[in-house]
Structure 1
Amino acid sequence: MNVQTALQTLKQQEFKPVYLVLGTEDYLQKQIRQAFLDKFKVEADDDLNFMNFDMETTSLEDVIGEAETVPFFGDYRLIFVETPYFLTAEKKTSSIEQNTDLLVDYLKNPVESTVLVFFANYEKLDERKKVTKQLKKTAELIEVKPLSEQETRRYIQQQVEQASVRMDKEAFELFLRLTDMELSKMMRELEKILLFSGSETVVTVETVSSLVPKSLEHNIFDMTNYVLKGQADLALRLYDDLHLQGEETIKINAILLSQLRLLLQSKILMKIGYQQANIAETLSIHPYRVKLAMQQVRSFDEKTVVNLFDELVEMDYQIKSGKMDKELLFQLFVLKTANYMKR
């Protein structure tokens, strides 16, 4: 079941003896974790009816022993099992060897007064293993996999609406870009924005710009846009700002080169018919980054992007070989490229 269904079920106190929280979305996993702690009224790690085990340092014998212990002045015992690497194909040479047969036997007849929750922060498990098969057969599965772009947009919009404010379209798109469509980061920054907004009913671009910090990568994204649009003055002003903040020209150039490489890769893959999801999978990057790259490069032909990339590679070589002053080289590249793009 999904997170919302799981949260609703827990509110109704419909406990299962075993749960498997599977997926890599950290924010959703934390929501589930807190829901269990709140429902069982766990206020500290020393709660007599709560145990938290890290399987990289704890044996399954200890976990099963606690799971088979009756609650102390309560109806249930809550046990969290972290990093259950033995459910995956991952090899942990530094971890203790686990006797998974003990867990398989327990799962066949779990103690009703114990709620055993496995937090598997992995994309997938090793389905060939007997312990994995038995766990998936016994446990109530809660999926916390990363949300799609559409699901993320909907989720954030719901949070904004629940706070009785409105974020205009331009501000919303900027917010998505500055938070890299990462749910944990989005929720942290949204909380800050909502606290700042107070009685204001509309969140503007100015509010988002002032409250959500820009990373160097975000600034280079803007610089790439300026260069592609032939806006040399804006690109050089941003370069000067970054330089004053202590950013090295070599580092700025390296990120710009990475951004141009992504544009070129996206352009080539788009040409042979790849869609956003296919490109993201091929390049192993977040689909939202691919979407932004596709938007950036769509109006330029492949030859132009190749020439830009080649120019940048050559400049990178000249900077690292010390043939010319690196700041002058970068400024000349921006001026030359922006002038070319305005034609």
Structure 2
Amino acid sequence: MEISEFMAREKEVKNLYFIAAENSYLRAEFKERFLEKFVPVASRDFNLSLVKPGDNYLKRLKSAINTPPMGAASRFIISEINLTDELNKNELADLTELISKIASDSILVFISETTPDKRRKFYQLIKKSGCYQEFKTPRYRYLDQWIKKQFNQAGKKLDQQSLKVLENMFSNRLEILASEIEKIITCYPEKDFLNYQDLKKIISREKFIEDEEIFTFLDLIGEKKTDKALLSLKEMLGKGVYPLYLLTMLKNQVELLMQVKYYSNFTHDNKKIAQELNKHPYPVKKALQRSRNFTQFELEKLLAEILKANYNFLTGYYPEQNMALEMIILKAISY
């Protein structure tokens, strides 16, 4: 369920909410929409408390809950919370006790990047007495729809190539995506239909070059073009692309190649494979083409090398990461 749909269904505010969303953009969007719908601007100075995690969290939250509203029917308390990090077992029991006695004129909203343990009394109390809702970060076709919606809300449409460019560059990092989309829309106020060339003029040039070159680099590895792959690697490193980022991109690519190659034993329909993997058909189609350059055994050996290198990068075993990455690429192509 999208936040806009959820808010449209909330005709009357409840006393207790627990909103879980791993993506900070979604958490911020929920908070903004909730305030807009239920908390009058004129009463926010006196009847709205924002309680953040930290020292004396329960004491501060209790104080906010027990403070009566001033000149209004209700007082709103919005609390950011991370149940896995902030509260021990006894503190969670105290919190459960606190919200079980919440006054009818207090509206308490928890916003969290983590979900509560559904076996605990805390979760059961929220489900019984309030509202529990999770908002998932959009992925694959849902991400396509999310991107289109951002443009549609501004009265604009986007061609399919541009949609894939945005998706491949930023994945579902919604904060960055929203920022880039806003930038594009602002730069073309009179244009209703936007294409790839329009985007290319606006999207952060460094990011555009980086991602385009990374995907070209991965193709060269898949095609086993040693000289060109090493030249591409040197050029990217020379521009300041972080070696660990490149290694991560390569790991993700190899894992996808392994999955796609396995399913290609049963079908060569990229849409069917994408459905099995719960992934977008476009990267699966590209992976299907690249996977023909490797055996499954070669991919397994390559992934083992990458995971080993990733550990050594993080522990500082490789002081010269650029050279280490070159060696990994040579091994990848020589398999």
- The aligned residue for residue 128 of structure 1 is 119
Matched position secondary structure for 2:132: strand
Q: How far apart are residue 82 of structure 1 and its match?
A: 1.4
Alpha-carbon contact 1:225-1:296 (below 8 Å) kept: no
Q: Residues of 2 paired with 1:135 and 1:311: CA distance?
A: 47
Q: How far apart are residue 116 of structure 1 and its match?
A: 0.6
Alpha-carbon contact 1:16-1:140 (below 8 Å) kept: yes
Letter in 1 for 2:3: V
Q: How many corresponding residue pairs?
A: 314
Q: How far apart are residue 20 of structure 1 and its match?
A: 1.4
User: Does 1:242 find its partner at 2:236?
Assistant: yes
Q: Residues of 2 paired with 1:28 and 1:293: CA distance?
A: 25
- The aligned residue for residue 169 of structure 1 is 160
Q: How far apart are residue 146 of structure 1 and its match?
A: 1.8
Matched position secondary structure for 1:298: helix
Alpha-carbon contact 1:19-1:139 (below 8 Å) kept: yes
Letter in 2 for 1:301: R
Letter in 2 for 1:242: M
Pick closer, same or farther for the CA change 1:175–1:19 going to 2, 3 Å: same
Alpha-carbon contact 1:60-1:103 (below 8 Å) kept: no
- The aligned residue for residue 312 of structure 2 is none
Letter in 2 for 1:200: K
Give matches, 1:95-114, under 5 Å: 98=91, 100-101=93-94, 103-104=96-97, 106-107=99-100, 110-114=102-106
Alpha-carbon contact 2:254-2:299 (below 8 Å) kept: no
- Give the CA RMSD over aligned residues: 4.3
Q: Deviations over 1:46-98 (max 9, x none)?
A: 9221212234423434423422322112232110121151xxxx3658x7952
Q: Give structure 2 stretches of 5+ with no counterpart.
A: 267-271, 310-316
User: Does 1:186 find its partner at 2:184?
Assistant: no
Pick closer, same or farther for the CA change 1:275–1:298 going to 2, 3 Å: closer
Which has the higher mean CA deviation after the structures are superposed, 292-301 or 226-235?
Answer: 226-235
Which structure has more helix as a fraction of its residues?
Answer: 2
User: Does 1:153 find its partner at 2:151?
Assistant: no
User: Does 1:220 find its partner at 2:214?
Assistant: yes
Percent identity over the alignment? 17
Q: Deviations over 1:164-222 (max 9, x none)?
A: 22211111111111111333322121111111222122222123334142485663222
- The aligned residue for residue 284 of structure 1 is none
- The aligned residue for residue 259 of structure 2 is 266
Matched position secondary structure for 1:72: coil
Alpha-carbon contact 1:104-1:130 (below 8 Å) kept: no
Matched position secondary structure for 1:74: coil
Pick closer, same or farther for the CA change 1:238–1:252 going to 2, 3 Å: farther
Letter in 1 for 2:91: Q
- The aligned residue for residue 115 of structure 1 is 107
Q: How far apart are residue 241 of structure 1 and its match?
A: 3.5
Pick closer, same or farther for the CA change 1:321–1:133 going to 2, 3 Å: closer
Pick closer, same or farther for the CA change 1:5–1:73 going to 2, 3 Å: same
Letter in 1 for 2:27: Q
Letter in 2 for 1:34: E
- Alignment counterpart, residue 197 of structure 1, candidates 183, 188, 210: 188
Pick closer, same or farther for the CA change 1:232–1:209 going to 2, 3 Å: farther
Which has the higher mean CA deviation after the structures are superposed, 259-268 or 64-73?
Answer: 259-268
Give matches, 1:13-92, under 5 Å: 14-39=12-37, 40-41=39-40, 47-85=45-83, 90=84
Q: How far apart are residue 308 of structure 1 and its match?
A: 7.2
TM-score by structure 2 length? 0.73
Letter in 2 for 1:224: L
Q: Residues of 1 paired with 2:92 and 2:300: CA distance?
A: 54
Letter in 1 for 2:108: L
Q: How far apart are residue 135 of structure 1 and its match?
A: 1.6
Q: How far apart are residue 131 of structure 1 and its match?
A: 1.9
Alpha-carbon contact 1:61-1:102 (below 8 Å) kept: no
Q: Residues of 1 paired with 2:54 and 2:276: CA distance?
A: 35
Q: Residues of 2 paired with 1:42 and 1:321: CA distance?
A: 55
- The aligned residue for residue 301 of structure 1 is 292
